C-alpha cells in the first residue's frame, strides 16, 4: 500500500468543557472521501484541524508527513473551501481568485484565476464585486480559489450548499474527476445522495467521534445486527410469502398489495441464493428484487442512531 496522503492520529479538540472532536484517527490516500455527520458532530472543526487552521488539543495531523499548521510548503499543496460565506466583498471574482493565485506564487495568476473560474462555470470577465453575487455564485468562487493552484489535497466544507441541481451535478463531476486523477479530496456534506454520487468512501463522525470509515457498501455488509430490507415484486405475493417466512434468516415478511413483498433478512447472501428456487417451487414469477436500505443514507442513519 502506498503511504497515506493525510494521517490523523488520536486527534481531539475541546473548547473549555465542550469536546468537539474526540480521539479521531484515520489515514486517507488519493480519491474522494465524504466526511459525514449530523449538524454539530464536529465535521467543520475536524476539517479546520486537517487544514491547520486550528491546532488539535491533543493528537496530530500530518499531510505528506508534515504538520500543515507549521509548514507553508504543505499549504501550497492544499486547497480549502471553508464553510463560512465571507469573501473579499469589494473584489470581483477574478480579482479574488487572482489574489489566491498570487499568494500561491503562481506564474500567471490572472490566467490561472480565469481558468479556475471557468471550471466552476463563472465568467472570469464579470466585473461585478463579489458582494453582488448569489449564494451559489459565491460558493463557486470559493471553490475556484481552492483549486486555482491545482492542490494535491482538497478539503471541501459543504461545497454544494446553495447550488442548483445543474451546478451540483457539474461540481460533483469536478470533484470525482479530481479524486480519480490522484488527488486526496475530502468533502463534508449532509446531502447524502449527492455524496454517494461523488464516491463511496466515507468518514462518519458523530458527537465528535469517528463512527465508521471505509466504503459505505462494505460498512452496510458489516452491519450484522440490522436486517436488510428487500422489496420483491412478483405475480402472486401471497403465495410466495410462506416460502420466504420459511427461511431461517428471514425476520419478517410484509405484504404490500397483491404483487409486492417487503422482506427483512439478516443474511442477504442466503436470501439471494434462495429466492429464485423458492419462487419456482411456489410457481410464482418474479418481476423485480431491490434492496431498499443499502444506500448511503440508510448506512448513515444507522451509524448516527446507534
Partner 1 sequence: MTTNTPPATVAPVAVLHRFMVKTSLSVARILMVAGLGALVLAVAFAIGSSADQTQTRVAQMVQGLGLAIVVPVVSLVFASAMLGDHRDDSTMVYLWLRPMKPWVVPTAALAAVWTIVVPATVVIVSAAALAAGGDTEALAYSAASALFGSMAYSAVFVLASLLLSRVLIWGLAYILVWEGFVAAGAEGAARLALRSYTISILGGERDVDLDLARHSVTTSIVVLLVVAVLCAVASIRVFRRLDVA
Does residue 244 belong to the site contacting partner 1 (CB under 8 A)?
Answer: no
Does residue 122 belong to the site contacting partner 1 (CB under 8 A)?
Answer: no
Candidates 126, 125, 119; CA nearest to 140 is 119
Does residue 17 belong to the site contacting partner 1 (CB under 8 A)?
Answer: no
Does residue 77 belong to the site contacting partner 1 (CB under 8 A)?
Answer: yes
Specify the stretch interacting with partner 1 by CB under 8 A; choose among 50-58, 169-177, 205-213, 227-235.
50-58
Please give the size of the binding site for partner 1, defined by CB under 8 A.
Answer: 43
DSSP letters, 3-31, are PPSEEEEEEEEEETTEEEEEEEEEEE-SE
Distances (CA, A) of 39 to 3, 30, 33, 195, 276: 32, 26, 18, 16, 43
Report in angstroms how near the CB of residue 221 gets to partner 1 at its nearest. Answer: 38
Of 40, 65, 105, 182, the one binding partner 1 (CB under 8 A) is 105
- Radius of gyration, alpha carbons of the chain: 24
Residue 116 or 203: which CB sits closer to partner 1?
116
Which sign does the torsion angle of CA 173, 113, 49, 137 carry? negative
Does residue 125 belong to the site contacting partner 1 (CB under 8 A)?
Answer: no
Does residue 65 belong to the site contacting partner 1 (CB under 8 A)?
Answer: no
Of 30, 46, 101, 154, the one binding partner 1 (CB under 8 A) is 101
Report in angstroms how near the CB of residue 305 gets to partner 1 at its nearest. Answer: 30
Does residue 21 belong to the site contacting partner 1 (CB under 8 A)?
Answer: no
Specify the stretch interacting with partner 1 by CB under 8 A; choose among 89-97, 161-169, 201-209, 216-224.
89-97
* Residue 214 CB coordination number (10 Å): 15
Of 23, 126, 150, 295, the one binding partner 1 (CB under 8 A) is 150
Specify the stretch interacting with partner 1 by CB under 8 A; choose among 75-83, 160-168, 281-289, 298-306.
75-83
Does residue 80 belong to the site contacting partner 1 (CB under 8 A)?
Answer: yes
- Cα diameter, the chain: 73
Specify the stretch interacting with partner 1 by CB under 8 A; choose among 86-94, 253-261, 274-282, 295-303.
86-94
Report d(CA 168, CA 149) in Å as an integer.
22
Of 104, 138, 168, 229, the one binding partner 1 (CB under 8 A) is 104
Report d(CA 150, CA 98) in Å as an integer.
14
Report in angstroms how near the CB of residue 161 gets to partner 1 at its nearest. Answer: 15
Region at 297 (left for phi over 0; alpha for psi -120 to 50; beta for the rest): alpha
Angle between helical axes of 93-103 and 109-119 (0-180°, round to 10): 120
Report how far Cα 183 is from the mean position of its chain's Cα atoms. 15
| Angle, vertex CA 298, rays to CA 28 and CA 261, nearest 5 | 145
Does residue 19 belong to the site contacting partner 1 (CB under 8 A)?
Answer: no
Distances (CA, A) of 90 to 162, 191, 205, 270, 274: 21, 31, 37, 63, 66
Residues of this chain that interact with partner 1 (CB under 8 A) are 48, 51-55, 72-78, 80, 82, 84-91, 99-108, 111-112, 115-116, 119, 145, 147-150
Amino acid at each position: 500500500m502506498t503511504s497515506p496522503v493525510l494521517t490523523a492520529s488520536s486527534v481531539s479538540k475541546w473548547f473549555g468543557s465542550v469536546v468537539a472532536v474526540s480521539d479521531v484517527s484515520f489515514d486517507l490516500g488519493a480519491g474522494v472521501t465524504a466526511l459525514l455527520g449530523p449538524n454539530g458532530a464536529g465535521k467543520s472543526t475536524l476539517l479546520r484541524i486537517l487544514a491547520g487552521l486550528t491546532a488539535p488539543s491533543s493528537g496530530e495531523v500530518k499531510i505528506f508527513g508534515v504538520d500543515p499548521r507549521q509548514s507553508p510548503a504543505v499549504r501550497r499543496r492544499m486547497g480549502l473551501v471553508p464553510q463560512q460565506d465571507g469573501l473579499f466583498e469589494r473584489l470581483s471574482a477574478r480579482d479574488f481568485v487572482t489574489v489566491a493565485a498570487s499568494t500561491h506564487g503562481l506564474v500567471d495568476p490572472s490566467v490561472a484565476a480565469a481558468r479556475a473560474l471557468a471550471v466552476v462555470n463563472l465568467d472570469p470577465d464579470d466585473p461585478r464585486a463579489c458582494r453582488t453575487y448569489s449564494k451559489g455564485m459565491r460558493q463557486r468562487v470559493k471553490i475556484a480559489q481552492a483549486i486555482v493552484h491545482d492542490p494535491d489535497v482538497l478539503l471541501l466544507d459543504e461545497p454544494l450548499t446553495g447550488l442548483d441541481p445543474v451546478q451540483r451535478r457539474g461540481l460533483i463531476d469536478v470533484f470525482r474527476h479530481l479524486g480519480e486523477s490522484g488527488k486526496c479530496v475530502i468533502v463534508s456534506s449532509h446531502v447524502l445522495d449527492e455524496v454517494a454520487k461523488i464516491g463511496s468512501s466515507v468518514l462518519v463522525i458523530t458527537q465528535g467521534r469517528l463512527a465508521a470509515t471505509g466504503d459505505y457498501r462494505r460498512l452496510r455488509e458489516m452491519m450484522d445486527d440490522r436486517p436488510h430490507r428487500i422489496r420483491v415484486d412478483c405475480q402472486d405475493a401471497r403465495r410466495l410469502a410462506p416460502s420466504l417466512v420459511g427461511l431461517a434468516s428471514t425476520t419478517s415478511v410484509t405484504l404490500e398489495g397483491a404483487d409486492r413483498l417487503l422482506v427483512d433478512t439478516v443474511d442477504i447472501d442466503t436470501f439471494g441464493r434462495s429466492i429464485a428456487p423458492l419462487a419456482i417451487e411456489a410457481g410464482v414469477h418474479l418481476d423485480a428484487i431491490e434492496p431498499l436500505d443499502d444506500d448511503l443514507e440508510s448506512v448513515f442513519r444507522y451509524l448516527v442512531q446507534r
